[in-house]
Structures are given as structure tokens and as C-alpha cells.
Structure 1
Amino acid sequence: MDLKQLRTFREVAEAGSLSRAADRLHLAQPALSRQIRLLEAEVGVPLFARHGRGMQLTEAGSALLERIDGPVRQLEGAIAEVRSLAGAVSGQVALGMMPTISSVLAGPLARRVARDHAGISLRIVEGYTGHLIEWVQRGVTDATLLYGPAPALHLRVMPLLIEEMVLVGAAGSGIGPEAVPFVELAGQRLVLPSRQHGLRRIVEAAAGRAGIALNVAFEADSFGVLKELVESGLGQAVLPRSAIRVEEAAGRLRVAPLVRPVPRREVVLALPPDRVPSRAVTVVLGLLEQEVALRAAAGDWRGMR
């Protein structure tokens, strides 16, 4: 078993057919087929089910892909790192983010990378806390943002920012700009994420401190759907202000600060404890900190570094 076989296996699994994988890798299809046969012979079980429409992973193939994806990425990154030592920084960087943070940071960060470091390929991986932790531990991502505090994750965790949540309503809701005591949310129709979502836990904790029960009329884990439901007048939401700046500026949403208590969330940067970040990862994380500082200066967040 060698790196070439594992990379071929990964590409065929992602493409779903030998022909598409051959086009991606610019290699002849028989050469790829031979690599797959050699790997299956070494593993001792079929990794793909062949059919007229392509190739589908078997149960064993799915298990192998899950286990080699991170290590293969790390080996590829190590090779790219050594090759680039004498020149400009280059390589692939995968960064995990929660959807509400991604909607604010992903675009500006990608533009900074493209402008300043054309040799770096950035991949933003969206997910919720459980998946983000698993991906960075397995090496699928190089670093990830998480809701803090996160002291017991067996990761290197660094505080990044604190963000306050605000009450968000439709254009005709009449809320804001005056602050709203959290207790006044009792009985209001609310639009919130489901209970496994980190933002929902923050809102419920604030409701507990205010001594009220929440009236959740609609649940949606998609941030875009949440904003659409609020714009339609189906309820109010508690969201980070930074993530609805565009709709607020356009007059499509209204916001009001929440007080007694103020719902806040801490966001941390987490990295694997046993891997040294590549030059490309270090550069991207530096640009990330610059973007966070810029948003903190604009009043959206409070920086912690």
C-alpha cells in the first residue's frame, strides 16, 4: 500500500467513477483501475461495487475512506510544505466554521488569501460543533472555530472573540433601537435553531437566568432559513448582529439589544495538539485574526487576542 494507491482510491470514491477520476487526475483509466485492484488485493476485501453507472463504495470502502482521508491530507500537506520552503507559501488549508460565523468571515478571509497568497488553496468546511471537533481531530480540517469555552476537548484551544446576541424582527415589527429586557421574550413567537445547535443553548441559558419559558414557533438549523422566516413576520429570533448586517442595512430586518441578561457567545480557535501547523495554515490563521480584529474595531465583536 502506498500514497499513490490511497490518493487514487480517494479520488475514485469522490468522483463515483473511474472515468471522472481519470479526468481529474489527468491519468489513463487503466492505470487507475490497476491501482484500485492492487489496493483491494492488499486490503483483502472489495472496496467498490461496480455497476453500469460507475463505482459505489462498499461498507469496507466507506470505512477505509473515513480513516485515511485525514492522514492522506497531512502527507500531501507535508510534501507541499517541504517543496515550498525555498519559495512563496503554498498548499491547501481546510478551516472549519459554524454557519453563523462562516456567513460573516468566510468571504472576507477568502478574499484576503486570494489577494495576498495566491499559492494557498483555502477550503471552508461548515458544520456544527460535534462534526467540527471530529474533523479537526481526524485531520480532515487543519483548524476549526468552535463555541467556547472548550477546555476538555484534547485540542489546543485559543480564545478568539466574544459576540453579543440581539433580538431580530421583521421590518414592520417595531423593535429597536431601545434595549429589550430578556424577560419580555416570554410569550413572543420565536424562530430558533433546534436544541442541538449551540446558539439555541445560549438562548435557553439566558431564558433560564431570566426565569421565563420560550415560545418556539419554528425551528430551523439553516441560518438562511432562520432569516427568511423572520423577514416573513413568522416570529422573532435571537441572532448575532454581525450575521444580519446586510439585511439590517437594507431595512429588511430590525434589531434591538437584549439585556438582563445579555446573551453572549465565545468563539475559540482549536487546533490538533499533536500536529505542527504548516506555513500555509499559519498564514491563514494570521489573516483570520486580522479579519476578526477588523470586525471587532467595527463594533461587531469583542476580540480576545
Structure 2
Amino acid sequence: MDLRQLRTFSCVAELGSLSKASDTLRVAQPALSRQIKLLEHELRAELFTRNGRGMVLTEAGRLLLGRTAGIVRQIDQIRDDIQSSGGPPSGRVVLGLVPTVSCVLSARLARRTVESFPGISLCIVESYSGHLMEWLHRGEMDLAVIYGPSSDLHLTVQSLGRDDIVAVGPRGSGLAQKKQIDIAWLLRQRLVLPSHSHGLRALIEHAAAKKKLKLDVQVEADSFRVLTSLVEEGLGYTLLPPSSVRLEVADGRLETARISRPAPSRELTLASPLDHPGSKAITLITTLLRDEIRACCAEGLWEITLA
């Protein structure tokens, strides 16, 4: 196996298409196809199945990707650091954000990156904590802002602070007039929540168990945008950080109310792979990320208790 073959394999696996990989790597499709075939011949295994939807990893392909994606990323970062040592910083940084953070931070961070470091290519991936942690463990992602707790994650972690959770209801629900509600009252209402695999659901289930209440979950949604739209339609209440629904509240589409103490909150964590040497570009993006979080707090856009 050589690095060119592994980089080609990784790119095709990520994009699911030879044509897209050809555009990204700026290499003709026949050359890419030949590299994949040489790799398959050396490993004596098919790495992809080819169908009408593109290139799909086989079990052997998934194994190879899991073992080599981090290696390819680290070699690319070494190249970027060497090239950056005598000039402006460059390189690619893959940053994962949970949806409730992404809606506040993504555009601001992207704009700052373009303005401050035009040589750095920032790839923002939005997903839930479980998926982001899996990609961090495989070395396919450089950084991620996830919800904790930060212990026992088998990642390098830094606490960013705690994010409060508020009650969220549709227009006319009366939450805006109440301003503060008891969590026992909220948990007795019809709810719209993520599925059981989601960290927020576990937090709410724990709160209900402490109150010895059974939740009335009318609809489940593992998409943040779907979740808020279901609440807008009046299908139930939910619980979210206030920053994530700030625009909907300002537009009068949703209402929120504080939850009386002890109010639920979540630890916000910046995570990266263990033993990851990092790169100059990653260090700079980490600094920009922290700066933007502090700026959002100072401007009243994000009510996080900073660590």
C-alpha cells in the first residue's frame, strides 16, 4: 500500500463516488479507478461494491478505512505544517459541531477563518455527539464540540462550560408569560424529543425518573430542525438551549421559559483524538473557536457559563 492509493481510497469512501473524488483530487477517473484496483489486488479483497448510487464500502473497505483514515489525515497535516513553516498557515481542518452549537457558531467561525486564515480549509460537520465521537476515535475528524460529561470519553477533552436547558413551546403556549416553570409541570406535558440514543433524551429521562414521572412522548425526531418544526406545529413541548432557538423566539414562532432550580444543564466539551499531534491550522482554529464562543456570550447570543 502506498500513500497515494490510501488517499484515493479515503476520498472515494468519503464521497461515495469516483467522479466526485476525481473533481476533489483533480485526478482523472481512470487513474483513480486503477489505484483502487491495485489496492484491492494487493489486499486480495474488494473494498467497494459499485451500484447505481455510487461506491459503497464492503466490510473489508470499512475495516481499512477505520485503520487508515487517521494515518492519512496525520500525514496530510505534517505536509501542511511543513509548507506553513515558511509562510501563511494552510491545511484542512475537520470540525464537528452538535446541531444546537452549529446554529449559533458555524457561520461566525467560518467567516473569521476566511478573513483571518484564507489558506486554511475549514470543513464543518454537523451531527450528534455519538457520531462525532466515533469519527474522532477513527481519526477522521480533528476537533469536535460535543456535550459531556467529559470523563471516560477516551479522547483529549477541554471543558468549555455549561449550557442551560429551557422549556420550548409553540406560539400561544403561554411560556413567554410564565417566564419560569417547574420541571415537574413540563415533564407531565406532551413532549417532542430525540430518540433514546440521544444525550438530551437521557438527561430528560433522568429528570423524569427523579420525579417518578412517565414521559408522554408524542413524536421523536433526531433532527434538530425537525424537532423545532414539530414544536412550532403544536405537537408538544421540548427542552433545548435558549441560544439554539433565539431566532425562532424573536420571530414569534416559538416561546421559551426558564426552568426553576435545579435547572437541567449540559457540559460543553471540546474534544480531539488521543495522541493526536495536531497541526498549526488546528491550533489556530481552536483559538478562533474559543474567541467566537466568548464573543457570542459577550453579545448575549449564547448564555453559556464559561469554564
Q: 2:101 maps to which residue?
A: 101
CA distance in 2, matches of 1:214, 1:152: 29
Alpha-carbon distance, 1:285 to partner = 0.8
CA separation of 1:35 and 1:294: change in aligned 2, threshold 3 A: same
Alpha-carbon distance, 1:17 to partner = 5.3
Q: 2:60 maps to which residue?
A: 60
CA separation of 1:203 and 1:70: change in aligned 2, threshold 3 A: same
Alignment map for 1:81-160 (pairs within 5 Å): 81-160=81-160
CA distance in 1, matches of 2:214, 2:228: 22
Alignment map for 1:138-217 (pairs within 5 Å): 138-177=138-177, 178-217=179-218
CA distance in 2, matches of 1:229, 1:283: 38
Q: Deviations over 1:239-289 (max 9, x none)?
A: 110000000111111111011331111111112231222111111111110
One-letter amino acid matched to 1:100: T
Aligned CA-pair RMSD: 2.2
Q: Is the 8 A contact 1:161 1:292 kept in 2?
A: no
Q: Is the 8 A contact 2:96 2:144 kept in 1?
A: yes
CA separation of 1:199 and 1:12: change in aligned 2, threshold 3 A: closer
CA distance in 2, matches of 1:44, 1:172: 64
Q: 1:264 maps to which residue?
A: 265
CA separation of 1:27 and 1:99: change in aligned 2, threshold 3 A: same
One-letter amino acid matched to 1:101: V
Q: Deviations over 1:81-119 (max 9, x none)?
A: 111111111110011221221222222111111121111
Q: Deviations over 1:7-41 (max 9, x none)?
A: 22233445555555444433344433432332222
Q: 2:255 maps to which residue?
A: 254
Q: Which runs of 5+ in 2 are unaligned?
A: none
CA separation of 1:22 and 1:294: change in aligned 2, threshold 3 A: closer
Alpha-carbon distance, 1:157 to partner = 1.4
Q: Is the 8 A contact 1:162 1:301 kept in 2?
A: no
% identical aligned pairs: 50
CA distance in 1, matches of 2:214, 2:58: 48
Q: TM-score, normalised by structure 1?
A: 0.91
Alignment map for 1:223-262 (pairs within 5 Å): 223-262=224-263
Q: Is the 8 A contact 2:221 2:227 kept in 1?
A: yes
Q: Of 287, 290, 304, which residue of structure 2 is paired with 1:302?
A: 304
Classify the secondary structure of the residue corresponding to 1:107: helix
Classify the secondary structure of the residue corresponding to 2:276: coil
Alpha-carbon distance, 1:131 to partner = 2.0
Q: Is the 8 A contact 2:77 2:278 kept in 1?
A: no
Q: 1:273 maps to which residue?
A: 274
CA distance in 2, matches of 1:286, 1:68: 28
Q: Is the 8 A contact 2:218 2:236 kept in 1?
A: yes
Classify the secondary structure of the residue corresponding to 2:94: strand
CA separation of 1:132 and 1:19: change in aligned 2, threshold 3 A: closer
CA separation of 1:27 and 1:213: change in aligned 2, threshold 3 A: closer
CA distance in 2, matches of 1:128, 1:18: 28
